[in-house]
Amino acid sequence: MPDSLRFSLISPVFDRPEEVEEFLQSLLHLNHSSFELIIGDGSPKDGLKNLREVYQNNDKYKLKWIYEAYLPVSDARNRAAEIAEGEYLIFLDSDCIIPSNYLNEIDSFLENRPLDLFGGPDAAAPDFTVLQKAISFSMTSFITTGGIRGGKKTVTSYHPRGFNMGIRKAAFEQVGGYDESLKCGEDVDLSIRLQAAGFSSELIPNAFVYHKRRTSLKKYFKQVFRFGAARIDLAKRHKGQLKATHIFPLFFSVGSLLSIAIFPWFPLMFKLLLIYTLCVFIFAMWNTRSFKVSGLSIVTTYTMFFGYGWGMLKNAISNLVRKKSIRL
């Protein structure tokens, strides 16, 4: 292990041993030597103890493991950052599989363009399930999200997210790290604060990770519901953080329901909905080359819009009527 570490990889975990082992295993194949891994483990009954014991003896990377039952995500990340030795902190989700050349791509990019804040996109691995590939398309396509999660084209300023987010440690400490009072949207909040402090943000296109996300539509709906609700909280904290691309899922959901309800009187609205649905299928087909994934992408896209829109609406009403946000 080099005396001076380049990267500290940090991941919060909460049970899911199979998922975490796949993540840990992928790091054994990284083509880079100057990194450590720090796990912030909040598993209720120390359910990852066996993995901790196995991987702490690996020869590839130094592993530090912080365990505290029910340790929240932001707390876990901050605790890990405190003991990190790397020049850069790279935050990764445990449902990600890291390609072997991941750190090399980041290192090469930073050599030419030194940054304090950066992120990379997420992608679907060839062996992902049909549902995981469909969710990946819905979450990353320009036609569905406007590229806000790390597309090469984006309709808003780019804010790295915690599933694949790098920060120079000195910059992280300067802004105080993650806000532990936030239960969702804390990564975007940190990106906004870093940019407000004068640190530029940039996407490293080749620094992608394979992101599994959720394994069922029900879990996916709950996840995007929280994202939509969190957007209201972010807008309250940061001026200008409620743009058209954020509100679109809400208008799309309402418009979809209206177009179906009033179809006999205003068929044009319904026709526009059908055209957009067809576009989603065509874009997904072009992207995935799979009829199954493309067909399911329609379902996951509507799930995303309705979940995000409902979360946003419910939290907005709660703030307006009860003067406080819903519990996430």
What's the pLDDT at 1? Answer: 42
Mean pLDDT score across all residues of the chain: 93
| CA nearest to 150, candidates 200, 195, 207, 100 | 207
pLDDT in tens, 39-61: 999 999 999 999 999 999 898 99
Q: Is the pLDDT of residue 28 over 90?
A: yes
pLDDT, tens only, 227-237 = 999 999 999 99
* Entry pTM: 0.91
Tell me what pLDDT residue 155 has.
Answer: 46
Bridge partners for 119 per DSSP = 165, 203
Q: Which pLDDT tens digit goes with each residue over 62-77?
A: 999 999 999 999 999 9
Q: Which CATH number fits domain 7-215: 3.30.2130.10, 3.90.550.10, 3.60.15.10, 3.10.20.30?
A: 3.90.550.10
Bridge partners, residue 117, by sequence: 167, 201
Task: List strand residue ranges (DSSP E) for the chain, in order.
Answer: 7-13, 35-41, 62-67, 88-92, 96-97, 117-119, 122-123, 164-168, 201-203, 209-211
Tell me the pLDDT tens digit for each residue of 5-22: 999 999 999 999 999 999
Query: Model confidence over 159-183: pLDDT tens digits?
Result: 999 999 999 999 999 999 999 999 9
Q: 118 burial class (0-12, 13-18, 19+ CB within 10 angstroms)?
A: buried
Q: Where are the alpha helices (DSSP H) in 6-154?
A: 17-27, 49-55, 73-83, 102-112, 130-140, 142-145
Dihedrals φ, ψ of 278, to 5°? -65, -40
User: Distance (Å, rounded) from C-alpha 88 to C-alpha 106?
Assistant: 11
Question: Which residue ranges make up each domain of the chain?
Answer: 7-215, 226-321
